Amino acid sequence: MARSGRSRILEVPGGHHVWTRRVGDGPLQMLTLHGGPGSTHEYLEVLERHLDPDRGGPAVAFYYYDQLGSYYADQPEDLSLWTVERFREEVEAVRKALGLDRFVLYGQSWGGMLAIEYALAYQDHLAGLVISNMTASIASYVAHLKTLRAALPAEVERRLVEFESRDDYFNPIYEELLVSNLYTRHLCRLDPWPDAVVRGLQRMSMPVYTTMQGPNEFVVTGNFAGWDRWDRLSEIEVPTLLLVGRHDTMDPADIEEMGRRMPRAEVAVLENGSHLAMWDDEDAYFEALEGFLMRLEP
């Protein structure tokens, strides 16, 4: 893919700095919001294999963006910074600094939550919205996690609960139980995991992650636990693509319901995919994403 521009360090409210980089050329522009909270852009590098007009993909210039607290951005120690509302305003500051308007906002996982928040406040700037692997409330997410855990062998679930009851979340035995029984089924189904995925996880900002999410993907104790936007989805009127894996940590039925509530939404369920369906159901994922972006091209 042709690359244009350079990596840019942008100032955001509070005098802090975040990292961005533009990739590709084209009249359609897209800003990406990574997950976590506190991961990095790295696990989204798979976008470069597909958003390439020289290979028949859409003519899009997209931006990587590492949010405040992440590996490539400033990492202030003030835990009060890690809120949904502050991150929403950070996205608007990044939009202004990059000079984006009538652009596509792509958010994956936590980035999808953030994309919903941004659209509810600033959708006049959007040409389109992509919400990947994220439902409309944390309560819905937690309910599906309980369903996934109920499908585990009883002894595995008993041992997980034993560690959790004493807040022993970082015990190597507990972490191995999580990875072998849940992460490899519902986070990423490839073996081995792609290097870009491993890098994104290894560089997770734990202060951001634990403050907002909690100790891991299957235990939510952080400050966004009460987040719920089901009743406001109808306010999002821009063309929207909703993506979910059949084996996701998000319930495909929830994402289909989101599609019914949003006036201009379409839903793609990736039958072989999990939470990182852009990797473990790559062809189906990008068939849906590329088609959506091509329909948006000016």
Is residue 180 one of the residues assigned to a domain?
no
Q: Over the chain, what is the mean pLDDT?
A: 96
Closest CA relative to residue 115, chosen from 99, 141, 136, 143: 136
What is the per-residue pLDDT for 5? 58
Q: What is the pLDDT of residues 271-297, one digit of tens each?
A: 999 999 999 999 999 999 999 999 997
Is residue 166 one of the residues assigned to a domain?
no
Residues of the chain with pLDDT under 50: 1-3
Spot the catalytic one: 16, 50, 144, 275: 275
Backbone angles phi, psi at 267, to 5 degrees: -120, 135
Q: Which residues constitute the domain of residue 263?
A: 7-140+195-296
Spot the catalytic one: 39, 41, 70, 109: 109
Is residue 147 one of the residues assigned to a domain?
no
Indicate the length of the chain as a whole number.
298
Distance of alpha carbon 115 from its chain centroid, rounded? 9
Is residue 221 one of the residues assigned to a domain?
yes
Q: Is 248 a catalytic residue?
A: yes
Q: Characterize the bridge pairing of strands 60-66 and 16-23.
A: antiparallel
Q: Characterize the bridge pairing of strands 28-33 and 60-66.
A: parallel
Is residue 214 one of the residues assigned to a domain?
yes
What is the per-residue pLDDT for 179? 95
Q: Would the pTM count as exceeding 0.85? A: yes
What is the per-residue pLDDT for 1? 42
**3-state class (DSSP) for residue 104:** strand
Is residue 249 one of the residues assigned to a domain?
yes
CATH number at residue 201: 3.40.50.1820
Spot the catalytic one: 41, 140, 247, 248: 248
What is the per-residue pLDDT for 56? 82
Is residue 183 one of the residues assigned to a domain?
no
Q: Is 109 a catalytic residue?
A: yes
Q: Is 34 a catalytic residue?
A: no
Domain count, the chain: 1
